[in-house]
Amino acid sequence: MHENEISYLIRKAIFQVYNNLGPGLLESVYCKALADELKSLGLQIKHEVSLPYYYKNNSMHSGFRIDILVEEKVIIEVKSVKLIAEIHHKQVLTYLRLSGLKLGLLVNFNSSNISKSIFRKVNNL
């Protein structure tokens, strides 16, 4: 499945979770619910994926964790904050660069309009 097809299903799952739970809960609640919803759509997911990086040719194992990795192709970074900051966008782009993946989605569930709180990030390899 191509990244665009996966992202379409992810958006569907995000809307389903938002419509059922609404805004204002903890990030961990949305991560779990979103993972369950993605699985119900037949997608392969991983939670809290460790993201090592290389510095001067040395592999560094860090505390970086991808919230949800879908089909080994798309990163989802889940937030539940008052406002998405520039650093949140940069975090997803950095995860994409470090992982070598092409597509990431940043979603803030603490929003009055979820459709305006899903941000598509592309790694220009």
All domains of the chain, ordered by start, with CATH? 3-122 (3.40.1350)
Tens of pLDDT, residue by residue over 84-112, are 999 999 999 999 998 999 999 999 999 99
pTM given for the model: 0.92
Cβ atoms 21, 29 nearer than 8 A: yes
What φ, ψ does residue 96 adopt, rounded to 5°? -65, -45
Inter-CA distances, 22 with 42, 48, 79, Å: 24, 23, 13
- Give the single-character DSSP code of 116: G
Max distance between CA atoms of the chain, in angstroms, equals: 46
Q: Is the pLDDT of residue 125 over 70?
A: no
Instruction: Give the ranges where the chain is alpha helix by DSSP (H).
Output: 3-21, 27-40, 86-99
pLDDT digits (tens, 9 = 90+) for 21-72: 999 999 999 999 999 999 999 999 999 888 777 777 777 676 688 999 999 9
Please answer whether residues 109 and 78 qualify as being in contact, where contact means their C-beta atoms are separated by less than 8 angstroms.
yes
DSSP state of 56: T
